[in-house]
Chain A
């Protein structure tokens, strides 16, 4: 192991390293396995005997999950727990140690990525060679493992010959020279066959296949025998591996084209009742996975199981579940604990750096005994023909300087037609915990009222506190780590010295969240096939609508962060863009809410990824629902700027009108009572 994360780990910046590629063998020390949490939420066992498609965007942790299943990681875990705490102290195992290790595991996991730059050239005339190339790359990893097994003395010469001879038969290799060793097989794969493929790929850029065939040898490989029969033979032949399975861990399926994905579908289908189990990571799940060139498609759950990581982690974060929060804090705390710098400052918990703040504390900090929110309210009263005397009387009933949120709620109730004396009575009872209705209204509206308060003081909402960061991360682990990193780096730039009594200032925490939101917003442009720009524009339109609704003083809908629409009615270009937004998790599907009346059809609910909340200055919580019709979606996506603006106004107008109707209904009810 020539490089490990310890070389890259910066004691002062423990959240700096985020990619799975940067961890090497130290994954356990800096990360947390997601296996148990995902099983708890989805009921699917990642390490079970079924093929699994693991779906998640960049930073969701799918590579981590796959790497945790790999032989390398299992071996490191075994060495750390059984033999030596520092995995770097021991690389090769003795025969007994290897036997003990193999007893503890039920599968051998080989991990590889469909690298964008590796498989992309198997197209046109040489496209059919992909199957052979993939098989030979799998074969390479198998022989690499066999070689280390042999080094531990667990393979006899006879077993080695039998396995290698079988392999040579499948690759039609005429030049074995009687050498049936794992070393020879590996050497042949690396120095001859793969290089031969490289040459063919290079020539295919400017030569026809016939020309290539004329001048070069094209490797012939019976791919299925290498992928399935070779592992079967190995698990049958070598005693220490008897009864085990081979996990073929393939990451980044999204880089394969349709024909290549069809081949993966075929392999998954054919893996049934073999010792080979596929675990496949992908940024998104293809709509259908065909089985080879047939019309047959893989069926879930019969042929495979799907785990959507971000959705699973979001589910572990919904309602009163705190599993996701705990997981993220555990990962962040691990890094703090690893840092001698922070340990020397007495900081081992993430809350010490990014303490959580209540809504009330935040409101008080913002208002700081100022009266601007009252001035705005007074102006409102004046426009409603109230005398100064009446105004003072009303304000006397509504004010409560110890908690500006209560004052804002009282103002809202007044705007909604409640009598000042009644509001005063309700709020006093609420403070004594004796008014359920007020309590419910407070709970429902407090967060949005805080946004209004920020608007009154012409200040931007501050996104601070570790729980807020975790909320913003929207099921994407890396986002939470990156926000912490950005916030800490910004604080350092301004001379921050961490210690137990000195958390990172709110302004720097807020910067971290906003900066990360901006980067994520920019990243939308990375969506390939010319869809980046329209998806970014669409997200911007939705964010702008939510932002306007957040500013609405009547609180049409508290914290509008999701919208409902009839997805099946979206068509054409709008559907293409809408689907891409979902595919790349910039738009997330929310479990549908029940229709409010029997006349309503059940619609789909969508929210923009919460990570964008600071970009649009909206809430990161999942509360208010705004209806947007499919035709409005179409106009927001395909319309010109004037049409888009008109559509936004139309949506806002309709939502406000709906609120007015609701209020007049509720007033009627109140009157009836």
Chain B
């Protein structure tokens, strides 16, 4: 099946019907079962990889769930890779430290990323980490072509028994701009775009923390599964009312980063036309694919600030099993010409 850059999103199994060889495959292990899925498919399809790197966050793992998953990923990748390494990075809360450590790791292990065919499985990377990872790949190694792999969860697990609200994280550690995406603060006013997720409290937190002049919201539609778009709207009701973002609600497909990028670009254009003296702040609280859409936009526009509410706790039983695994190809250079 053809994979058109910056356009098609297809099942990984279908894509691998034609054999492919990657120089570097970067993935991440976690408590979530879905982190193993892509490596299983790659083994099934006998894909060749030179270097496989598995990020291992420095988080406590009392039930040894993460350790078990990473061992399985390693076992899988060792079957198809010349070299498989687990990279012990920093805590999920400190992406800058983690990525600086990653650069040292690459140097120490003589792994060169420039001019290489690189695939990244972003399924369980936290948003802040993969944002910075992409930035580094682009700015430090001048890489503009990537294959992106993503496995959906079958469903999200934790629900508040009283409200039915889906809880993926708990508490708030801090709200900060994602390192490398501090954007511009040249104007005294901010305009905020929030990509809605299931946890409405986090969008309210972001809204009151940024205190913007004007707020836009993007909801994931079509959603991964029927009705999930309504869940996120209901969960974000307070935010939508208090920020008056209901009047500026846009839609973008939950699975499509390219469409999300287009919607963000369109809103950004509208903001700049209406009020030139405003910084643009984006909070990607929705799906990973929508976050990727924000990332694609932010990589082209250095003035955009991307912020994120770092939670106190990521629920260990965040998601359940796995859904389909997708692949698509990015060409950042061509994207900038759009």
Residues in A lying within 8 Å of B, measured CB to CB? 2-3, 8, 19, 21, 58, 112-113, 115-118, 120-121, 124, 190, 194-195, 198, 201-202, 204-206, 208, 519, 522, 525-533
Residues of the A chain whose Cβ atoms lie less than 8 Å from the Cβ of B312: 530, 532-533
Please report the C-alpha to C-alpha distance between residue A671 and residue B244 in the assembled complex, in whole angstroms.
66
Pick out which of these stretches binds chain A: B43-51, B202-210, B248-256, B328-336. B202-210
In the complex, residue of chain B having the shortest beta-carbon distance to the beta carbon of A119: B185
Does B117 lie at the interface of the complex (its beta carbon under 8 Å from any beta carbon of A)? Answer: no
Q: Which 5 A-B pairs have the closest CB atoms?
A: A205-B179, A205-B180, A530-B312, A118-B185, A201-B182
Given A205-B96, A206-B135, A525 contacting B213 (CB threshold 8 A)? no
**Do A206 and B307 have beta carbons less than 8 Å apart?**
no
**Do A117 and B173 have beta carbons less than 8 Å apart?**
no
Does B176 lie at the interface of the complex (its beta carbon under 8 Å from any beta carbon of A)? Answer: yes
Does B1 lie at the interface of the complex (its beta carbon under 8 Å from any beta carbon of A)? Answer: no
Residues of the A chain whose Cβ atoms lie less than 8 Å from the Cβ of B103: 206
**Do B302 and A117 have beta carbons less than 8 Å apart?**
no
**Do A529 and B186 have beta carbons less than 8 Å apart?**
no
Please report the C-alpha to C-alpha distance between residue A273 and residue B186 in the assembled complex, in whole angstroms.
31
Please report the C-alpha to C-alpha distance between residue A19 and residue B210 in the assembled complex, in whole angstroms.
12
**Do B135 and A525 have beta carbons less than 8 Å apart?**
no
Please report the C-alpha to C-alpha distance between residue A205 and residue B139 in the assembled complex, in whole angstroms.
12
In the complex, residue of chain B having the shortest beta-carbon distance to the beta carbon of A482: B242
In the complex, residue of chain A having the shortest beta-carbon distance to the beta carbon of B208: A58
Please report the C-alpha to C-alpha distance between residue A124 and residue B275 in the assembled complex, in whole angstroms.
34
Does B270 lie at the interface of the complex (its beta carbon under 8 Å from any beta carbon of A)? Answer: no
Please report the C-alpha to C-alpha distance between residue A124 and residue B188 in the assembled complex, in whole angstroms.
25
**Do A115 and B210 have beta carbons less than 8 Å apart?**
yes
Residues of the B chain whose Cβ atoms lie less than 8 Å from the Cβ of A527: 172
Given A21-B213, A205-B132, A206-B103, A532 contacting B275 (CB threshold 8 A)? no
**Do B173 and A528 have beta carbons less than 8 Å apart?**
yes
**Do B244 and A8 have beta carbons less than 8 Å apart?**
yes
Does B231 lie at the interface of the complex (its beta carbon under 8 Å from any beta carbon of A)? Answer: no
**Do A206 and B174 have beta carbons less than 8 Å apart?**
no
Query: What is the distance, in angstroms, from B231's C-beta to the closest C-beta of chain A?
Result: 18
**Do A21 and B183 have beta carbons less than 8 Å apart?**
no
Determine which residue in A112, A113, A120 has the highest number of CB atoms from chain B within 10 A of its CB, and name it. Answer: A120
Chain B, 128-157, contact with A by CB distance < 8 Å: what is the 0/1 string? 000010011001100000000000000000
Please report the C-alpha to C-alpha distance between residue A155 and residue B325 in the assembled complex, in whole angstroms.
67
In the complex, residue of chain B having the shortest beta-carbon distance to the beta carbon of A19: B211
Chain B, 254-285, contact with A by CB distance < 8 Å: what is the 0/1 string? 00000000000000000000110000010000
Query: What is the distance, in angstroms, from A187's C-beta to the closest C-beta of chain B?
Result: 11
**Do B211 and A198 have beta carbons less than 8 Å apart?**
no
Residues of the B chain whose Cβ atoms lie less than 8 Å from the Cβ of A531: 171
**Do A533 and B170 have beta carbons less than 8 Å apart?**
yes
Secondary structure of the B contact surface, majority rule: mixed
Other 8 A-B pairs with CB < 8 A, given A117-B177, A205-B181: A8-B244, A21-B213, A116-B175, A118-B185, A202-B302, A206-B103, A532-B171, A532-B312
**Do A205 and B211 have beta carbons less than 8 Å apart?**
no
Residues of the A chain whose Cβ atoms lie less than 8 Å from the Cβ of B132: 205-206
**Do A117 and B185 have beta carbons less than 8 Å apart?**
yes
Contact partner of A205 (CB less than 8 A), chosen from B135, B188, B214, is B135
**Do A530 and B213 have beta carbons less than 8 Å apart?**
no
**Do B211 and A525 have beta carbons less than 8 Å apart?**
no
Q: How many residues of B contact A (CB 8 A)?
A: 47
Query: What is the distance, in angstroms, from B154's C-beta to the closest C-beta of chain A?
Result: 28
**Do A3 and B275 have beta carbons less than 8 Å apart?**
yes
**Do A202 and B281 have beta carbons less than 8 Å apart?**
no
In the complex, residue of chain A having the shortest beta-carbon distance to the beta carbon of B95: A205
**Do A525 and B174 have beta carbons less than 8 Å apart?**
no
Residues of the B chain whose Cβ atoms lie less than 8 Å from the Cβ of A530: 171, 173, 312-313
Please report the C-alpha to C-alpha distance between residue A201 and residue B302 in the assembled complex, in whole angstroms.
12
Given A121-B182, A533-B312, A2 contacting B275 (CB threshold 8 A)? yes
**Do B100 and A194 have beta carbons less than 8 Å apart?**
no
Please report the C-alpha to C-alpha distance between residue A205 and residue B128 in the assembled complex, in whole angstroms.
11
Please report the C-alpha to C-alpha distance between residue A205 and residue B213 in the assembled complex, in whole angstroms.
28
Contact partner of A117 (CB less than 8 A), chosen from B100, B205, B281, is B281
In the complex, residue of chain B having the shortest beta-carbon distance to the beta carbon of A189: B186
**Do A533 and B176 have beta carbons less than 8 Å apart?**
no
**Do B201 and A206 have beta carbons less than 8 Å apart?**
no
Contact partner of B190 (CB less than 8 A), chosen from A3, A117, A190, A205, is A117
> What are 19 contact pairs spanning A and B, CB under 8 A?
A3-B275, A113-B211, A115-B185, A116-B307, A117-B175, A117-B183, A118-B185, A120-B177, A120-B182, A195-B184, A198-B184, A198-B185, A201-B182, A202-B180, A205-B181, A522-B201, A527-B172, A528-B175, A533-B170
Determine which residue in B140, B182, B190 has the highest number of CB atoms from chain A within 10 A of its CB, and name it. Answer: B182
Residues of the B chain whose Cβ atoms lie less than 8 Å from the Cβ of A58: 208
Query: What is the distance, in angstroms, from B86's C-beta to the closest C-beta of chain A?
Result: 21
Given A21-B211, A198-B185, A205-B96, A117 contacting B179 (CB threshold 8 A)? no
Query: What is the distance, in angstroms, from A258's C-beta to the closest C-beta of chain B?
Result: 14
In the complex, residue of chain B having the shortest beta-carbon distance to the beta carbon of A536: B171
Please report the C-alpha to C-alpha distance between residue A51 and residue B302 in the assembled complex, in whole angstroms.
38
Does B321 lie at the interface of the complex (its beta carbon under 8 Å from any beta carbon of A)? Answer: no
Query: What is the distance, in angstroms, from A611's C-beta to the closest C-beta of chain B?
Result: 16
Please report the C-alpha to C-alpha distance between residue A3 and residue B244 in the assembled complex, in whole angstroms.
15
**Do B176 and A206 have beta carbons less than 8 Å apart?**
no
Residues of the B chain whose Cβ atoms lie less than 8 Å from the Cβ of A120: 174, 176-177, 182
Query: What is the distance, in angstroms, from B188's C-beta to the closest C-beta of chain A?
Result: 7
Does B212 lie at the interface of the complex (its beta carbon under 8 Å from any beta carbon of A)? Answer: yes
In the complex, residue of chain A having the shortest beta-carbon distance to the beta carbon of B100: A206
Chain B, 94-118, contact with A by CB distance < 8 Å: what is the 0/1 string? 0010011001000000000000000
**Do A115 and B190 have beta carbons less than 8 Å apart?**
yes
Please report the C-alpha to C-alpha distance between residue A195 and residue B312 in the assembled complex, in whole angstroms.
32
Does B238 lie at the interface of the complex (its beta carbon under 8 Å from any beta carbon of A)? Answer: yes
**Do A525 and B179 have beta carbons less than 8 Å apart?**
no
Please report the C-alpha to C-alpha distance between residue A205 and residue B306 in the assembled complex, in whole angstroms.
13
In the complex, residue of chain A having the shortest beta-carbon distance to the beta carbon of B274: A2
**Do B172 and A525 have beta carbons less than 8 Å apart?**
yes
**Do A529 and B174 have beta carbons less than 8 Å apart?**
yes
Please report the C-alpha to C-alpha distance between residue A202 and residue B201 in the assembled complex, in whole angstroms.
28
Contact partner of B171 (CB less than 8 A), chosen from A8, A112, A525, is A525
Residues of the A chain whose Cβ atoms lie less than 8 Å from the Cβ of B208: 58, 526
Please report the C-alpha to C-alpha distance between residue A194 and residue B305 in the assembled complex, in whole angstroms.
15
Please report the C-alpha to C-alpha distance between residue A533 and residue B313 in the assembled complex, in whole angstroms.
11
Contact partner of A198 (CB less than 8 A), chosen from B135, B179, B183, B274, is B183
**Do A194 and B186 have beta carbons less than 8 Å apart?**
yes
Given A3-B213, A525-B172, A202 contacting B182 (CB threshold 8 A)? yes
**Do A519 and B172 have beta carbons less than 8 Å apart?**
no
**Do B184 and A121 have beta carbons less than 8 Å apart?**
no
B224-260 interface (Cβ within 8 A of A): 238, 244
In the complex, residue of chain A having the shortest beta-carbon distance to the beta carbon of B302: A202
Given A3-B275, A530-B312, A112 contacting B188 (CB threshold 8 A)? yes
In the complex, residue of chain B having the shortest beta-carbon distance to the beta carbon of A112: B188
In the complex, residue of chain B having the shortest beta-carbon distance to the beta carbon of A17: B244
Determine which residue in A113, A519, A532 has the highest number of CB atoms from chain B within 10 A of its CB, and name it. Answer: A532
Query: What is the distance, in angstroms, from B92's C-beta to the closest C-beta of chain A?
Result: 14
Please report the C-alpha to C-alpha distance between residue A620 and residue B209 in the assembled complex, in whole angstroms.
29
Residues of the B chain whose Cβ atoms lie less than 8 Å from the Cβ of A198: 182-186, 302-303
Query: What is the distance, in angstroms, from B159's C-beta to the closest C-beta of chain A?
Result: 16
Please report the C-alpha to C-alpha distance between residue A368 and residue B135 in the assembled complex, in whole angstroms.
70
**Do A525 and B201 have beta carbons less than 8 Å apart?**
yes
Residues of the B chain whose Cβ atoms lie less than 8 Å from the Cβ of A205: 96, 99, 132, 135, 179-182
Query: What is the distance, in angstroms, from A259's C-beta to the closest C-beta of chain B?
Result: 16
B299-316 interface (Cβ within 8 A of A): 302-303, 305, 307, 312-313
Determine which residue in A118, A124, A533 has the highest number of CB atoms from chain B within 10 A of its CB, and name it. Answer: A118
**Do A206 and B185 have beta carbons less than 8 Å apart?**
no
Query: What is the distance, in angstroms, from B165's C-beta to the closest C-beta of chain A?
Result: 10
Residues of the A chain whose Cβ atoms lie less than 8 Å from the Cβ of B281: 117
Please report the C-alpha to C-alpha distance between residue A21 and residue B201 in the assembled complex, in whole angstroms.
21
Residues of the A chain whose Cβ atoms lie less than 8 Å from the Cβ of B96: 124, 204-206
Query: What is the distance, in angstroms, from A71's C-beta to the closest C-beta of chain B?
Result: 13
**Do A194 and B185 have beta carbons less than 8 Å apart?**
yes
Query: What is the distance, in angstroms, from B87's C-beta to the closest C-beta of chain A?
Result: 15
